[in-house]
Amino acid sequence: MRYMCTVCYLGKNFSGWQSQKKGETTIQGEIEKALKIILKNDIKIVGSGRTDSGVNAFSQKFHFDTDILFDKTKLLNSLNAILPEDIKLTDIIKTSLNARFSAKKKTYLYRIYLSKFKLPNIYGRLQVYKDFDIKSLKKACKILSGKHDFKNFMATGSSVKDTVRILYSIKLKKYTFANTIFIDIYFCGNGFLYKMVRNMVGLMLEFATKKIDYKTFKNLAFNDNADKKFTAPGENLYLYDVKYR
């Protein structure tokens, strides 16, 4: 029997999603450890994708296969009782889907705030304090949306050969609270390359803060000879949602 689970987590205390041979603490490793304690068996889980060290998730998906019978609600409660406080499951259902290969759409969220002062009570948002042009950010969203070869946004260390992806949309949500401007950037696509979102955000912010011009932005995004990357921090990135139809 196959089960699909939804998990949310803060990534700051973990070395990413994927289990590591070196013994680092990971999201996958903590969940598999908890499953072994409760089900008294080694259970391997398959995530919808691998988030980097420090990256968070509102709705990561994973599946596992087992012939062991259990009550889904009891298992959910038992897992949450022993998992770390920054990892919690929100759903367990029966499924025939593969968490990774059956995914149709993924949405990532990157969060920033505009302020001359670094606010002490904000975690999970990147401070942007220099000249910021929202129109340039919107223009960058439009340029990057659609079907493109995103190889310039893929970090080294990936063995992926096909680097063409479709970004269905890049949407901005802007609001003001306590004299501070908050901006949420949502990236929805059919798949993402290694550190692709972080590298896109880094380049978008270079453009929006007038450190590079329009021509340079396009060249760095899509020119075959581009070799410079601007990588935004991982702790402000969230896997927001995964869709299977």
Active site members: 52
Residue 77 and residue 190: Cα distance in Å, rounded?
Answer: 32
Please identify which residue in the block is written with the tokens 């896109």.
200
Torsion angle, alpha carbons of 121, 124, 128, 132, to 10: -120
Q: Are 231 and 157 in contact (CB under 8 A)?
A: no
Q: Are 184 and 173 in contact (CB under 8 A)?
A: yes
Q: Are 233 and 126 in contact (CB under 8 A)?
A: yes
